[in-house]
Amino acid sequence: MKNKDISFFFNPKSIAIVGASSVAGKLSHAIMNSLKDIGFQGDIYPVNPKYKTIDSMECHQSVSDIKEDVDLAILCIPASQVLGAMEDVARKKAKGAIIVSAGFKETGQEGAELEVRLKKITGETGIRIMGPNCLGVFDNIFKIDTFFVLRERVRRPQVGGLSILSQSGSFAGTIMDELSAEGLGVAKIVNYGNRVDVGETDCLEYLAEDKSTKVVGIYMESVDDGKRFIEAAKSCAQKKPVFAIKVGRHEAGMSAAKSHTGAIAGKYEIYSAAFKKAGIIEVKGYSEFLDACKVLSKQYPADGKRVLVVTDGGGMGASIADACNDFGLQVAEPSQEIKNTLASKLPPFCAVGNPIDLTGSVTDDDYVMAVKEAMAEYDAAIVMVLWGPPTLTDKLIGMLAGAAAELKKPVIICSPGGEYSRKRNRMFEEAGLPVFSSPEEAARAAAVLAKSSR
């Protein structure tokens, strides 16, 4: 019987690094550095028959050679040596292994056969396997980082409530780096690669119960166990927002002959329907995935799809209204009552509709007043700030963040432009408001929030 509990992947007390090396550039060396850099508190046991010591730590001949208990083994050895090493790891009664090594199913028939034998080991011994061909686990809470990608090229994000599950290693690394550049906080990122055993379903069951995880994003190429996945997702989505992307929607990487058959085209529809059934918010591209990361980890949920647009540039405001409509949102006019209130408080040349156009004579106060007065009739606001008017000051940033906190409704900032705007966009982000640099991105993010409403 396999161990159902996979928590030791996230908070192991001890880790054996199989194929450890002190040679810079080796994956195992990078992983040891990653563990050190994040501040892993448990014990690390280097394993490599070629060495007596590594970085002044004792180096073991094999995993079963280690005297103490081993929770987790990380394998960074050639594919051909993995089976032997896994038998050794199983003998040691380690709870699980992360097989970083590539050279399995992705390289052809021989590699696929190796995976069948790995599956057999996990079935017979109960040991859990993540990988092969994966980066493993980044856990910002329990301080474990098995990603071999170098910090100088792929930064690690700050601590936060977002957790990400990804079959693709390139996606996991890229989004990690992107999230850290965007200043977004992350709890865990998991990459399970070829997925002979542990996959999104096991991880989702774990994240559903994980208190540090407030939002879950999934990057899927395929699903491990459709029925179980829907159950796990349903149960997780009742507790926290879950969003997912299915890549390979068009099967474009396959040969032209295969690519346009009904059977394959239909495949995506099945995923889309399953996401819907499970209460998962479906996103359709890398950009929208990133939008979802931003809005869902920063914002109050929206109660519906009525969007208020407030701007100081009418022409650009019209673009937001267009984009909102494209994404199925409603940009309805405010009631006459609210129009009257706004008209009484704003200069006569402002347009009190939706968008509310505060024009180039706008002040900080106008923005905040307009959002506060009109918001009762809307589920979310997109506030487009064009910084041209010299009457606008940096105080507006804190004032809008304060208004959003008071209203307890999502307020999304859209602020396109160059250097001056981009600097202020970072200030908006620091004040906790999600910022988008184009009308389309802002509208798409508002649509993600609307989809997250119950």
- 353 or 398: CB nearest its own copies: 353
Q: How far apart are CA 136 and CA 119, in angstroms?
A: 18
Q: 68 vs 152, which CB is nearer to its own copies?
A: 152
- Rank residues 54 and 79 by Cβ distance to its own copies and give the closer one: 79
Distance, in Å, from the CA atom of 29 to the CA atom of 430, rounded to the nearest integer, reads 35
Q: By CB under 8 A, is residue 332 in contact with its own copies?
A: yes
- Angle in degrees, CA 435, 438, 440, rounded to 5: 105
Least distance CB 182 / its own copies (angstroms): 8
CB-based contacts of 347, cutoff 8 Å, min separation 6 = 359, 361
Please report, as residue ranges, which positions from 307 to 326 form the binding site for its own copies (by CB under 8 A): 309, 311-319, 321-326
- What would the x/- binding string for its own copies be over residues 245 to 264, using CB under 8 A? --xxxxxxxxxxx-xxx---
Phi/psi at 78 (nearest 5 deg)? Answer: -55, 145
Stretch that binds its own copies, among 55-63, 269-277, 329-337, 402-410 (CB under 8 A): 329-337
Cα(192)–Cα(199) distance, integer angstroms:
6
Q: Which of 71, 210, 366, 441 binds its own copies (CB under 8 A)?
A: 441
Does residue 18 contact residue 86 with C-beta atoms inside 8 Å? no
Alpha helices in 106-254 (DSSP H): 109-125, 169-181, 200-209, 226-237
Which residues 54-83 are close enough to bind its own copies by CB under 8 A?
Answer: none
Q: Could you tell me which stretch among 39-47, 165-173, 203-211, 234-242 binds its own copies (CB under 8 A)?
A: 165-173
> Which residues inside 9-38 make contact with its own copies, applying CB under 8 A?
25
- Applying CB under 8 A, which part among 12-20, 57-65, 112-120, 284-292 lies near its own copies? 284-292
Cα–Cα distance, 123 to 2 (Å, whole number):
7
**Region from 10-18, 58-66, 99-107, 120-128 binding its own copies, contact rule CB under 8 A:** 99-107
Determine the interface stretch with its own copies among 48-56, 197-205, 227-235, 280-288 (rule: CB under 8 A): 280-288
CA distance 451 to 443: 12
Sole window of 6-14, 40-48, 149-157, 365-373 interacting with its own copies (rule: CB under 8 A): 149-157
Q: What is the DSSP letter of 359?
A: -
Q: Which is nearer to its own copies, 41 or 107 (CB)?
A: 107
In whole angstroms, the minimum distance from the beta carbon of 419 to its own copies comes to: 5
Site string for its own copies, 351-390 (x = CB under 8 A): x-xxx-x-xx-------------------------xxx-x
Instruction: Read off φ and ψ for residue 116, nearest 5 degrees.
Output: -60, -40
* CB neighbour list of residue 360: distance below 8 Å, 6 or more residues apart: 312, 313, 388, 389
Q: How many residues sit close enough to its own copies to count as binding (CB under 8 A)?
A: 90
* Interactions with its own copies, residue window 205-234 (CB under 8 A): 219, 221
CA–CA separation, 202 vs 180, rounded Å?
26
Residue 117's CB is within 10 A of a number of other CB atoms, namely 13
* Contact by Cβ (8 Å): 427, 277: no
Under the criterion CB under 8 A, does residue 279 sit at the interface with its own copies? no
Please list every residue from 395 through 434 that binds its own copies, using CB under 8 A.
416-422
Residue 124 beta carbon to its own copies: minimum distance, rounded to whole angstroms? 29
